[in-house]
Structures are given as structure tokens and as C-alpha cells.
Structure 1
Amino acid sequence: MATLSFPVADHPSPTGTAEREAILANPGFGKQFSDHMVRALWTVGDGWHGGEVVPFGPIQLSPAAAVLHYAQEVFEGLKAYRHEDGSIWAFRPEANAARMARSCARLALPELPEADFIASIKALVQADEAWVPAFGTGETSLYLRPFMFASEAFLGVRPANEVYYSVIASPAGAYFAGGMKPVSLWVSTDFARAGEGGTGAAKCGGNYASSLAGQLEGISHGCDQAVFLDSSTHTYIEELGGMNLFLVYKDGRLVTPELTGTILEGVTRSSILALAKDLGLQPEERRVPIQEWKDGAESGELAEVFACGTAAVVTAVGTLKWDGGEVTVGDPSIGGGIGEVTSSIRRSLLDVQYGRAQDTNGWMTRLA
């Protein structure tokens, strides 16, 4: 049972129906926000308290707030889906709650109990139910962003004694507005996303900030994203800046880099591993040399490559480029194409999320 409650404060000027419908018709991703937000506070003396749903707006913060100087913060990302009967559901929110707790432990932040995490997203979705796109409007949803940061005003390297928790919501359109197409990746050898013993397994802003230089390097070489290797040997595949990777072999193996403490354990990643055997695939978690990708593409043994994450669900990867060469998995004339396994896994996940298929794994939680 949740220990926090989230009473709703009246919004003095909520978004009008016509304006909201215009936003929902073309929301993009992460650009527009719903009327309300959740907030709660943790202090050393009182623990978690002060939960409420309030109008969306600026957070008052001291220039000396610890997060601005020492980056003590974590966040999560999940979606609320409208089903055909009008009900609203989340996909495996307990997994997001557990990951946030692990991230908090690594960043020396107080852990938010799973029940309070679920209660907070339910409270926001119920307050802003009208912001959840209608069923049948494509891959639309209400993206939920829980986050926590050190709000205590002090300068000094120690865990903060005051921490702010919040949840905001953003209506999201289809990630691939013009239809899914394979992405190209640049092998980053000059930059690492995370190092051994660091925060790579936590979902915190510093990991994403450290990936940006590699991403810019990839873009400068005509690629969409960068793929990062292990920081010690620059030999083994880890992940993209914000997505996990899978390699599909012609013999039915579905291979993904094992979790070494430097890779974020994606909820979509773990779900795909659970679905693999039902789809006739042989899942493998192990260290994957970048050379194996290159050799497999050249020989044809490697049939498909895809990345996965909450925002895009599953994204086909076509071309891999590096300083001195490139390979394409699939038909080079169309950038690699989208393989049957990639399409099947993507469809299987979306059908469960939108209630079009039976939830045999008990992954969906009703929010409203």
C-alpha cells in the first residue's frame, strides 16, 4: 500500500478542449506537456511527504541546489496507453519503479517505494486523463517522466538532505512520423558512455550527457546515432546513447550484450528477452565484440540488427560505419531494410501495450 497520497489542486486555467485536441493531433515527442504535475519531498527528518498533484509550471530552485553542482538526480520514462474501451494502461510500471530504486541507490538518493511510484503516475494520469490520445490514432500515448533530484541548497560533496520528486506528462505521437526506416550508426572509439564502476547501469542524466559528444561525432559522419563500446578495451558493444541493441542471426539466435554494470537494463530489452522463445528465437546475453557485427554482416550470417527503448519501442539498424569502413545488414540499396524478426517483435510489444493482444505475462497495469 502506498504511504504517499496525491490530492489534486485545482488548475486555475487548464488548457481548453480545442487547444488540447490540436496538440494531440500533432504532439511530436517531448514538446508539449499536460496540465498537471506530481510533486513530493523527502527530508532526512521526515522521509517522503507532501505528495500532491499541482498545475504544471516552473520549479522554484536555489542557485545553490545540489543537483546543479553535483548532478545528484535520476529519472524514468514510461507511457500510458488508451485501450479500445477507453481505459488507460501502463506497460510494466513496476519494472520502472524497481529500476528507479536501483538508480537511486547508485546516486545516493532515497528510494521511492514501488507503491508510491505507481500511485504517483496513477494520480497524474487520472488528473490529466483527457491528455491520453484516443485509441486507434496510431502509435500515440501519454509519455510519463518521473524524476528525482537533490534540491537542498548547499555546496559540498555529500548526499543531499532534501530531495524533490516529480512526474510530468507529455503527449507523444508516433516516433517514426513517416514510417519506420533503418537507422545508421557510427562506432564511437573516442568517447565512452560509461566506465566500469561508474553510473552506466543507472538512469541518470550524466550518462546521457556523456553520450552527446559521440552522437555529434556520428552525425558529422552522416549517421543517425552512435554505438558505444566498453571503455576498457574498446572491443565490445555496449549500447546507444539511450537504447539497447540486439543482433539476429540466420540460425535463430537473438543476441544482446550482457549487463556488465555499464549498460542500462532497459524494460523493453528485458521484455524482448522474455518474448524471444515464444517467437521461436534463442536468446543469448553475452559480451559481443564489435568485430562480430562487422564479420557477420560481411558473411551474411547476421540477418538483422535492431535497437530498442521506450520511446521508439524497436528500431531497425541498417548501416554500421567506422573510421575506415562500413557494412550494411540487409539490402544496402534500401539502407538495410526492416527484417521479419524486428517487425514481429515490435508488433508483439505494441499489440500488448495497446490491448490488441492478450497480456499473457501480466505486464499491463490499469491507471484509469
Structure 2
Amino acid sequence: MSPSAVSATPPQAVVPENPNLIADAVKQKLASATPSLAALDASKLTRTRTTTPRTVPALDDPIRNVSSFATDHMITCTWNVNSGWGVPELKPYGPFSIMPTASVLHYATECFEGLKCYRGYDGKVRLFRPDCNAKRLLMSSARIALPTFDTVEIEKLITELVAVDAAKFLPKSDAGKFLYLRPTLIGTQAELGVQTPKEAMLFIIATYMPELSETPGGMKLLASQNDTVRAWPGGFGFAKVGANYGPSLMAQQEARRLGFNQVLWLLGDEAQVTEAGASNFFTVMRTKGEGKLQLITAPLGSKVILDGVTRRSVIQLVKERLSQKGELEAIEVVERQYTMAEIVEASEEGRLVECFACGTAFFVAPVSKIHFRGVDIDVPMAQGEVGDYTNVIKNWLVDIMYGREDHPWGVVVEEKEV
């Protein structure tokens, strides 16, 4: 058994009836910030510019497609249990040092976010709903006993990195392109033992990333088998922690070996539909009998599903813009548990309209095929390469992200001179 896994003198605990211990613990941690400890404060940011600037790769350079080429700078900030948050630093991108006994290397005390900054067609750089990413990072951090923070300060630090590096690595000539941003929080306490980390580090980096939403012929999904599950009720599927991703890679590798793009993750004997790879999943189909058109996605209540920023935005836009008949038939948004049996039946009865996956990486990606228990389900795509609803939703989001539509979700960043 791991060191510190068992206390010699365990505390006497009073467990309430029908306890919801994890949810209560997360709420308590979020509400129990110690006033005497230093808070995360972006106004204290120190700035050390690089003296060895990197060469910007050409648009056709393959390095842009492997997510390993970072911009000139990164932001870091340390935390410890006795003093709280230290002074955040903007400094040259490069390696940092942690001890081999660091908590993150043994106990998965790590969470992160993924968002992008976009070079608009009007020349401006925008972030898309960074407040949502900051709030989710806070929830993820609390879920794995890492320190809490004011989410506004995280937003400010993300914005500062973009302000410093976007002009060079995402110039105005790159309208319609983006950089990927990765805020990450790790436990760094150099001590073995299953325990809450007493030291942690926040870092924020920016890299290039390939365009993953353009999948010729649509995404092909392999439904997971009964012996494999991505997340489960009461677990941590709702949090963006590294432990959600590593265990899924073997199934993803097998899916790609068989010619599929991603795994469609199912849950339980009923084969409940949850997520597609690391993305949220939506199904458009008609109800039995009355033929009412619905946009269906799995609910957040069981904490199996990640509260994706793109997912949230899709739901809000559809409710606002497609609740009444216009160029497209009105559609109702339904967040509920649903199963592969429903998709199979809808396909057989001609009620399946389209499916798509969405997230920061894959953005909004149409699905053309689902392989489930030996059967291929062909998913309609009304426009050949994409469905009608998938296409209009994707275009709405693109317009906001790249400044074609003036919208509060598109947050303009004031850039620093190179």
C-alpha cells in the first residue's frame, strides 16, 4: 500500500445519511479559500522577454500540425499551502524542473483547459468565452484537491500571453487561423504518499494545432465495447483532468487501426450514448409518431459528461435561433440520457437526421458512420459532407470567433507591439 494511504489515528467522522460526499467536498473547497493566504493576482505579473526568439514556421510547414511548436513565452505561477499564490511570471518558453517524487507524476494531480485565440477577418485577435474555461479549470482543480483561485485572474493571465505573442505567431496576414492555449495546474509537492498536494504550479502555454474539424466524408465512430468505459456516474468525467484521457488512448488507437476516427463512448448495459473521443456528441432525430425534430445530447447531471464550452454554446445558439421555423425547420434541444438502441431504431425508421461531435479541438465535426456491435449505421449528411444543422451551427460559431458577427462571446484582446 502507498505511503500515507492509511492514517495511524483516523479521525472520527460523522457521515450523514445519503451522503453526496464528492459534490459536497468540491463545494466546500470552492467556498473555503483562506483569506490570510495570498490570492492569485494577475496585476503582479512580472515580464521577462525572450532573448532567443523563435522563427515563425511557414503556413505550409508540417510543424504546425503536431501541436509541439510553442510561442516565445509562457506564464507560470507557484502555490504552496503556507503562503498561497506566488508572483506570476511571463518568461521565455522552455523546460521547468520538478522532482521525481512530485505528486503529479504519481497521483494524477493535474488538470488543464483547452481554448483558442482567433485572428479575425477584421484583423483583431479574439478569445471565445474564456470565462467559461476559467470557471471549468477552477472546478477541475477543486475536484482533485488542487488550489482554488479567482477565475477573473486566470482570464487576465491568458489574455496577457495572447497579447504578447499573438502579433508575431498569429499575424494579421493569418486571418481565419488560430493558436491553441493550454492553461494547466499540477501538484508539485515532492513527497510520495496519497495526500492533498501542499505545493502546485500553474502554467499557460500557446501552440499551433492542426485543423481537426475538416474530416473528408465525415467522422467515422467505433462504439465502445461493454468491457470499456470512459467515465461513470459519481466519477470525474465532468472535470478536465489528465486521468480522463490516458486510459482512453488504447481504445482510440484500436479504433484508428480499424479505420475509424474516434470512439463513441457508451455507458452501461443499455449502451447510453455519452461522448465521441474527447468531444461532446449530438444527435438530430425525429420523435416517433409526431415526428418532432430534436437535437439530443447527454445531460450533465450524472457528472459523466464534460461541460464543454462548445457544447454549451451550441445549445444556447440553437435555443435562441432555431426554436422557430426559419430557413430550417424549428428544432427542440433535449438534454437527456439516450441509447444506441434509439439511434439504431431511428436509422431503420428514417428518423435519424444527422450527428456531430463538438469541442475545442475538433470544433464542430459531422459524423457519417457509427459502427455498433457489428452493424454500420450510416448517418445522413444532407449537404454531402455535412448536415444542414451541423453546417449552420458551425457557421454561427465561426462568425463569432473570427469577428464576422459582433457578439459578447468573442472577447477582443489588445495586442502588444512586437
Q: If the length of structure 1 is used for normalisation, what is the TM-score?
A: 0.91
Instruction: Indicate the larger mover: 347-356 or 315-324.
Output: 315-324
Residues 198 and 338 of structure 1: CA distance in aligned 2, closer, same or farther (over 3 Å) = same
Gaps of 5+ in 2: 1-38, 287-291, 323-329
- In structure 1, the residue corresponding to 2:333 is in which secondary structure? strand
Match of 2:378 among 308, 325, 328: 328
Match of 1:159 among 191, 196, 200: 196
Please show how residues 250-265 of structure 1 align to structure 2 within 5 Å: 250=286, 251-259=292-300, 260-265=302-307
Q: Distance in 1 between matches of 2:197 and 2:40?
A: 24
- In structure 1, the residue corresponding to 2:355 is in which secondary structure? strand
Residues 293 and 37 of structure 1: CA distance in aligned 2, closer, same or farther (over 3 Å) = same
Q: Distance in 1 between matches of 2:90 and 2:171?
A: 23
Gaps of 5+ in 1: none
1:28 aligns to what? 65
Q: Is residue 2:41 matched to residue 1:3? A: yes
Q: Is the 8 A contact 2:279 2:362 kept in 1?
A: no
Match of 1:244 among 268, 273, 280: 280
Q: Deviations over 1:47-102 (max 9, x none)?
A: 11120101100111111111000010100011111224432210100000111111
Aligned length: 359
Q: Deviations over 1:283-306 (max 9, x none)?
A: 100001111111112222011000
Residues 254 and 131 of structure 1: CA distance in aligned 2, closer, same or farther (over 3 Å) = farther
Q: Distance in 1 between matches of 2:254 and 2:374?
A: 15
Q: Deviations over 1:251-308 (max 9, x none)?
A: 4311111112111110000000001130332110000111111111222201100000
Q: If the length of structure 2 is used for normalisation, what is the TM-score?
A: 0.81
Q: Distance in 2 between matches of 1:132 and 1:82?
A: 10
Q: Distance in 2 between matches of 1:262 and 1:176?
A: 24
Q: Is the 8 A contact 2:74 2:161 kept in 1?
A: yes
2:155 aligns to what? 118
Q: Distance in 2 between matches of 1:294 and 1:138?
A: 41
Please show how residues 210-249 of structure 1 align to structure 2 within 5 Å: 210-230=247-267, 232-249=268-285
Q: Distance in 1 between matches of 2:263 and 2:58?
A: 34
Q: Is residue 2:349 matched to residue 1:349? A: no
Q: Is the 8 A contact 1:139 1:174 kept in 2?
A: no
Q: Is the 8 A contact 1:141 1:173 kept in 2?
A: no
Residues 202 and 303 of structure 1: CA distance in aligned 2, closer, same or farther (over 3 Å) = same
Please show how residues 172-211 of structure 1 align to structure 2 within 5 Å: 172-176=209-213, 180-189=216-225, 190-211=227-248
2:409 aligns to what? 363
Q: Deviations over 1:309-357 (max 9, x none)?
A: 012210001111123211101269x9x7411111110010010000001
Q: Distance in 2 between matches of 1:234 and 1:208?
A: 23
Q: Is the 8 A contact 2:40 2:86 kept in 1?
A: no
Q: Is the 8 A contact 1:23 1:32 kept in 2?
A: no
Give % identity: 35
Residues 351 and 135 of structure 1: CA distance in aligned 2, closer, same or farther (over 3 Å) = farther
Q: Is residue 2:352 matched to residue 1:302? A: yes
Q: Is the 8 A contact 2:118 2:401 kept in 1?
A: yes
Q: CA RMSD of the aligned region, Å?
A: 2.2
Please show how residues 120-159 of structure 1 align to structure 2 within 5 Å: 120-134=157-171, 137=174, 139-159=176-196
Q: Is residue 2:333 matched to residue 1:283? A: yes
Q: Is the 8 A contact 1:140 1:173 kept in 2?
A: no
- In structure 1, the residue corresponding to 2:315 is in which secondary structure? helix
2:19 aligns to what? none
